[in-house]
């Protein structure tokens, strides 16, 4: 659905040139929710604005639904953009227009008839749960309600792609979760391709199918969220994961242990999350264990668990335990 080929974006000239994107390649599949995560200044917003050519790449190709946008003239590009909706961190609503008129704005630009606009806007108000707020102005709305207006407006032109530029970073955690549930519902109902730019791992974990990690203008790691989240390879990715795990994981890694013990991280995925694999295996091999840190959660709709444990016993028994839980489908990382 979306393919970026060797996309480079530079700002400035001569000695003052800054390269925001550097020969970036990225493929996003039709119908998936794809996340891009990175620190401030990594190039996230430039990347998503290149996807609809709000920022024109210095070089490279941007393909959307089989068309290279960089080859289109102004009129062709404007037409193609109708199939690419976008929502923003700070909502970008018309302050002097009501909720209804904000949503109707792109439809009027497209010269749609009054009755068609009425029907379309009412459907969208119902979709985002704002029927009772249709005649209010943005200043009368909460942050979450403003973002719902932004989502409805972005959907007004029946896009195939929805780009979300830090769409939840200005919202509190509870409101963020409600917006993410709305985006997931929209993805499932309309099979939209959704691209989420964020610096929050929670956003990626909640609704994304795949993720790319951007750093210094390039993609340093990408794949299924379960793979990238549970088995991070790049230091930047590990930093995001460790940041989410918090102080408890840091303390677990500092726990004392001697030559007769091993410090391990065990990862459970799917139904194995609820199985007593570790305790059963430890009993069979005669190994004791101490749980130093643990978590159980979900990546989208897939349950997972992670434990940092200290295995205690004879070296051979510990090795037998590690081999056994690995054969049972757990991922084991020896931390010492």
List all residues 6 or more positions away from 27 whose beta carbon is below 8 Å from its beta carbon.
2, 3, 4
The average pLDDT across 162-176 equals: 90
Spatial distance between the Cα atoms of 119 and 131, rounded to a whole number of angstroms: 13
Token pair for 32: 């998936």
Domain boundaries, the chain: 2-242, 246-334
* Nearest residue to 137 via CA among 94, 167, 80, 176: 94
Spatial distance between the Cα atoms of 44 and 50, rounded to a whole number of angstroms: 10
Pick the more confident residue, 30 or 170: 30
- In this prediction, residue 292 has a pLDDT band, given cuts at 50, 70 and 90, of confident
Token pair for 245: 């795990």
Token pair for 143: 């942050």
List all residues 6 or more positions away from 331 whose beta carbon is below 8 Å from its beta carbon.
230, 231, 266, 267, 269
* pLDDT for res 335: 83
- In this prediction, residue 243 has a pLDDT band, given cuts at 50, 70 and 90, of low
- In this prediction, residue 247 has a pLDDT band, given cuts at 50, 70 and 90, of low
Residue 199 main-chain phi, psi, to 5 deg:
-115, 10
The average pLDDT across 27-47 equals: 94
Mean pLDDT of the residues in the chain = 90
Spatial distance between the Cα atoms of 271 and 26, rounded to a whole number of angstroms: 32
Give pairs for 17-21: CB < 8 Å, separation 24+: 19/217, 20/46, 20/217, 21/46, 21/47, 21/50, 21/57, 21/217, 21/218
Share of the chain above pLDDT 70, in %: 95
The average pLDDT across 242-254 equals: 56
Residue 17 main-chain phi, psi, to 5 deg:
-70, 135
Share of the chain above pLDDT 90, in %: 67
Whether the CB-CB separation of 209 and 34 falls below 8 Å is answered with yes
Q: Which of 191-195, 279-283, 306-310 has the highest mean pLDDT?
A: 191-195
* pLDDT for res 66: 92
Q: Give yes or no for residue 258 having a pLDDT over 70.
A: no
Q: Give yes or no for residue 244 having a pLDDT over 60.
A: no
Range 2-242: architecture per CATH = 3-Layer(aba) Sandwich (3.40)
* pLDDT for res 251: 57
Whether the CB-CB separation of 283 and 314 falls below 8 Å is answered with no
Whether the CB-CB separation of 237 and 213 falls below 8 Å is answered with yes
CATH: 1.10.540.10, 3.40.50.300, 3.40.50.720, 3.30.70.260. Which one for 246-334?
3.30.70.260
Q: Which residues pair with 198 in a beta bridge?
A: 37
* pLDDT for res 58: 95
Angle between helices 114-128 and 143-155 (to 10 degrees): 140
């Amino acid at each position: 659905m979306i393919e970026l080929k060797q996309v480079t974006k530079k700002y400035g000239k001569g000695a003052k040139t800054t390269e925001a994107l550097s020969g970036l390649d990225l493929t996003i599949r039709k119908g998936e929710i794809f996340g891009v995560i990175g620190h401030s200044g990594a190039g996230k917003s430039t990347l998503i604005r290149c996807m609809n050519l709000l920022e024109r790449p210095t070089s490279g190709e941007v393909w959307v639904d089989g068309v290279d946008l960089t080859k289109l003239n102004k009129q062709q590009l404007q037409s193609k953009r109708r199939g690419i909706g976008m929502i923003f961190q700070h909502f970008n609503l018309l302050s002097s227009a009501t909720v209804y008129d904000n949503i109707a704005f792109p439809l009027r630009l497209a010269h749609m008839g009054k009755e068609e606009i009425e029907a379309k806007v009412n459907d969208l108000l119902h979709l985002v749960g704002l029927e009772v707020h249709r005649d209010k102005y943005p200043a009368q709305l909460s942050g979450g309600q403003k973002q719902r207006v932004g989502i409805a407006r972005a959907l007004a032109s029946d896009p195939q792609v929805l780009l979300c530029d830090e769409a939840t970073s200005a919202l509190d955690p509870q409101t963020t979760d409600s917006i993410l549930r709305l985006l997931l519902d929209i993805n499932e109902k309309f099979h939209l391709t959704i691209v989420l730019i964020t610096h929050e791992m929670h956003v990626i974990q909640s609704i994304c199918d795949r993720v790319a990690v951007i750093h210094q203008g390039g993609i340093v790691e990408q794949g299924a969220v379960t793979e990238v989240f549970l088995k991070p390879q790049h230091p930047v990715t590990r930093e995001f994961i460790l940041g989410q795990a918090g102080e408890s994981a840091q303390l677990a890694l500092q726990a004392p242990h001697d030559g007769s013990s091993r410090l391990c991280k065990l990862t459970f995925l799917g139904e194995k999350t609820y199985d007593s694999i570790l305790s059963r295996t430890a009993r069979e091999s005669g190994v004791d264990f101490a749980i130093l840190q643990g978590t159980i959660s979900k990546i989208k709709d897939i349950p997972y668990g992670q434990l940092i444990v200290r295995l205690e016993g004879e070296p051979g028994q510990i090795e037998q335990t590690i081999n056994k839980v690995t054969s049972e489908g757990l991922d084991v990382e020896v931390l010492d």
